């Protein structure tokens, strides 16, 4: 595919602006680690919220959604829509608790919550486990999407694509720190959304598609449009709907949807001006991520079934593509060949923006773990701030190099998604309960991480393909949860002085800390767990109803579109009233 001059102008202009932001943010970011990793803790909710959304809109996201829709229909998206429950729990329960902790990274939390050498070991272990191994896996999946886009649009080899895609990202990420990432994320989100919406509108207008109504009536598409799976067929609704809503959302750790908060979501909350800005940022993120953004991807995915009804049609259209990376997720990139000059450049720039926003966040987040929670904590406790910032910049380069090498091994986005889900299966509950139950200790978490990882390795390499992915996840959840619960009761609880200090600092809701600090001895500025759960329920209703209402209106179903819109407005009204009402603790 040959790009015109206007396309290249748009792409290079975006690269130039991104580099300029990194350069302008260089001096402020280089002051100290707090500036480099948290941007001075004075960021507003809207900038942090947009950054969260931009990070989760990675280059592999439309590929993943396309893969899901082509194979399992729109209803297949429940595999990630279910994580909204996790997000709303973070908004109305955990966001304030994280901001109250006042730590630099969410791993520093371990030595606030736990005590002794076990707490220090857990912090260091997680720094390497998440900051390096898990983080590299996430960046590799995003880089895989870049490889497929480069192969379809430019005929680039995987190595050439990764070289071009990563250089600019590493440069501005290492120069500008979190401040540079946040500002660039804002630009990247706007470009990504504009590009995606315009691409969907143009694709629907193509003669081979014939508009939205004709698309929805096409025989290859009509059976794929339902929001819910066929409940008469357990082989369909169990993995697609029941497992995600009943088990996955609370039991599985997944980046951006961590039960109890964590990762780069926690990093953004910790960078907020105060608790209210932390809550506002996470709420906006969930609203935009689940309700505002999916439909352009879904429509393009449905349209791809008309243009490329099977994998062989994609292979025929792009004979130069390596068969090893040929999958349904490639259809999204293939559809971009329909776009005209100018719009093609904008959409490619938006995909580059999506790639860069995700990679830059993971580079900064991963480097914060490696520098603050491992290097400074265990290797160089007396290192100067300037030296630590330098190590952080070096870490971003190393993380990118390793992620690029791993990306060359992966084959498709859905494969990587299931691997990440399996590795995190069974660990989610512990990340929730550690805030509410004093008995959870460091060895509980070490056990959960170790067992879940070994089970994932077993299913992937020892018993590959023996069980469906949803049964693998359920087995992982049961075995991992059982293991860490047994270890919790077999090992000693934490030091009561540390637990008491944590309780007074965080003031967690619920009865799980009564043995350590009775409710009457705690600060008056706490929060009510039942109220938080009620707000979570209303927020979940608001976003799901908005998502469905948008879909029904697009489908031309005025009645259901109106009903779901009314339910969304009612949920929003109730949510607003409760938030404004003074809380009684």
Residues 355-390: tens digit of each pLDDT: 777 787 788 778 888 888 899 888 888 888 788 888
Per-residue confidence (pLDDT) for residue 552, from 0 to 100: 95
Q: For position 3, what pLDDT does the model report?
A: 72
pLDDT of residue 584: 52
d(CA 501, CA 484): 25
Q: How far apart are the first and last CA of the chain?
A: 62
* 62-99: burial string, b at 16+ Cβ within 10 Å, e else: bbbbbbbbbebbbbbbbbbbbbbbbbbbbbbbbbbbbb
Residues 6+ apart with CB under 8 A from 128: 369, 370, 374
State how far Cα 523 lies from the chain centre.
34
pLDDT mean across residues, the chain: 83
Distance CA 392, CA 32 (A): 11
Mean pLDDT of 537-551: 96
Contact in structure between 409 and 162 (CB atoms under 8 Å):
no
Residue 22 has pLDDT above 90, yes or no: no
pLDDT at 30 over 70: no
Instruction: Between 478 and 396, name the one with better pLDDT.
Output: 478
pLDDT of residue 211: 92
How many other CB atoms sit within 10 Å of the CB of residue 314? 21
Secondary structure of 40-90 as H, E, C letters: HHCECHHHHHHHHHHHHCCCCHHHHHHHHHHHHCHHHHHHHHCCHHHHHHH
Q: What is the pLDDT, as a whole number, of residue 585?
A: 43
Torsions phi, psi of 351, nearest 5?
A: -70, -40
* pTM more than 0.85: no
Banded pLDDT at 348 (limits 50, 70, 90)? confident
Left if phi > 0, otherwise alpha if psi is -120 to 50, otherwise beta: which for 46? alpha
Give the Cα separation of 229 and 243 in Å (integer): 12
Tokens of 512: 């799980």
3-state secondary structure of 466: coil
Please indicate whether residue 39 or residue 169 has the higher confidence score (pLDDT). 169
- C-alpha 142/C-alpha 422 separation (Å) is 18
The token pair that represents 477 in the structure block = 């959840």
- 67-118 confidence digits (pLDDT tens): 999 999 999 999 899 999 998 998 898 888 888 888 777 888 889 999 888 8
* Residue 539: band (very low, low, confident or very high) from pLDDT cuts 50, 70, 90: very high
- Report the C-alpha gap between 233 and 104 in whole angstroms: 48
pLDDT, tens digit (0-9, with 9 covering 90-100), for 446-457: 899 889 888 988
What share of the chain has pLDDT > 70, as a percent?
90
Residue 481 confidence (pLDDT) above 90? yes
- Give the length of the chain: 585
CA dihedral of 13, 18, 21, 23, whole degrees rounded to 10 = -100
Is pLDDT of 332 > 90? Answer: no
Q: Is the dihedral of CA 437, 443, 445, 451 positive or negative?
A: negative
Mean pLDDT, range 204-228, rounded to an integer: 92
Instruction: Please determine, for residue 257, whether its predicted confidence score (pLDDT) is greater than 60.
Output: yes
Per-residue pLDDT band at 154 (split at 50, 70, 90)? confident
- Going by C-alpha positions, the residue among 143, 74, 529 that lies closest to residue 352 is 143
- Calpha distance 76→74 (Å, rounded): 5
Q: Which residues pair with 425 in a beta bridge?
A: 252
Report the pLDDT value the prediction gives residue 526, as an integer from 0 to 100: 56
Longest dimension (CA), the chain: 71
Tens of pLDDT, residues 259-270: 877 777 777 777
Mean pLDDT value across residues 55-65:
77
User: What's the helix, strand, coil split of the chain in %, to 5?
Assistant: 75, 0, 25
Task: Answer positive or negative: Cα dihedral of 254, 360, 294, 207.
Answer: negative
Domains in the chain with CATH codes: 5-24+57-494 (1.20.1730.10)
Residues 162-193 pLDDT 10s: 887 777 677 656 665 666 677 777 877 888 78
Phi, psi of 252 (to 5 degrees): -115, 130
Distance CA 396, CA 20 (A): 18
């Amino acid at each position: 595919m040959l790009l015109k001059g206007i396309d290249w102008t748009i792409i290079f202009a975006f690269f130039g602006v991104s580099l300029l932001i990194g350069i302008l943010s260089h001096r402020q970011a280089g002051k100290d680690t707090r500036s480099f990793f948290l941007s001075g803790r004075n960021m507003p909710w809207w900038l942090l919220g947009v950054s969260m959304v931009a990070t989760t809109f990675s280059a592999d996201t439309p590929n993943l959604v396309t893969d899901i829709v082509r194979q399992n229909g729109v209803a297949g998206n429940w595999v990630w829509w279910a994580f909204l429950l996790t997000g709303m729990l973070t908004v109305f329960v955990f966001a304030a608790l994280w901001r109250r902790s006042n730590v630099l990274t969410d791993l520093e939390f371990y030595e606030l919550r736990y005590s002794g050498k076990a707490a220090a070991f857990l912090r260091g272990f997680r720094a390497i486990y998440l900051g390096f191994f898990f983080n590299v896996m996430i960046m590799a999946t995003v880089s895989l999407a870049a490889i497929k886009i480069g192969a379809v649009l430019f005929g680039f080899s995987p190595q050439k694509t990764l070289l071009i895609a990563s250089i600019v990202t590493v440069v501005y990420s290492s120069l500008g720190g979190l401040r540079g990432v946040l500002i660039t994320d804002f630009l990247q989100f706007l470009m990504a959304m504009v590009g995606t919406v315009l691409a969907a509108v143009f694709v629907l207008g193509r003669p081979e598609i014939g508009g939205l109504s004709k698309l929805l009536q096409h025989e290859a598409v009509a059976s794929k449009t339902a929001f819910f799976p066929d409940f008469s067929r357990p082989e369909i609704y169990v993995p697609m709907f029941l497992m995600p809503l009943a088990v996955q959302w609370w039991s599985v750790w997944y980046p951006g949807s961590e039960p109890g908060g964590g990762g780069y979501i926690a990093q953004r909350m910790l960078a907020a001006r105060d608790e209210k800005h932390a809550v506002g940022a996470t709420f906006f993120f969930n609203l935009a991520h689940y309700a505002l953004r999916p439909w352009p991807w879904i429509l393009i995915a449905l349209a791809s079934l008309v243009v490329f009804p099977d994998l062989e049609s994609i292979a025929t259209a792009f004979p130069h593509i390596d068969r090893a990376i040929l999958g349904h997720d490639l259809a999204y990139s293939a559809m971009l060949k329909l776009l005209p000059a100018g719009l093609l450049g904008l959409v490619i720039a938006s995909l580059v923006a999506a790639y860069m926003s995700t990679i830059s966040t993971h580079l900064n987040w991963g480097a914060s773990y490696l520098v603050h929670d491992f290097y400074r904590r265990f290797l160089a406790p007396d290192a100067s701030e300037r030296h630590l910032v330098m190590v952080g910049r070096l870490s971003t380069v190393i993380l990118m190099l390793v992620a690029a090498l791993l990306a060359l091994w992966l084959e498709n986005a859905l494969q990587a998604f299931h691997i990440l889900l399996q590795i995190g299966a069974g660990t989610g509950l512990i990340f929730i309960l550690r805030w509410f139950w004093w008995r959870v200790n460091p060895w509980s978490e070490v056990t959960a991480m170790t067992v879940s990882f070994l089970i994932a390795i077993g299913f992937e390499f020892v018993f590959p393909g023996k069980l469906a992915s949803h049964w693998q996840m359920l087995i992982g959840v049961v075995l991992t949860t059982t293991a860490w619960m047994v270890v919790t009761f077999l090992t000693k609880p934490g030091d009561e002085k540390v637990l008491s200090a944590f309780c007074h600092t965080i003031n967690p809701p619920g009865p799980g800390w009564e043995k350590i600090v009775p409710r009457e001895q705690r600060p008056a500025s706490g929060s009510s767990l039942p109220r938080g759960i009620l707000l979570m329920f209303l927020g979940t209703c608001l976003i799901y109803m908005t998502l469905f209402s948008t879909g029904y209106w697009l489908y031309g179903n005025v009645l259901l579109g109106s009903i779901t819109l009314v339910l969304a407005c009612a949920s929003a009204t109730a949510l607003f009233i409760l938030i404004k009402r003074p809380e009684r603790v």
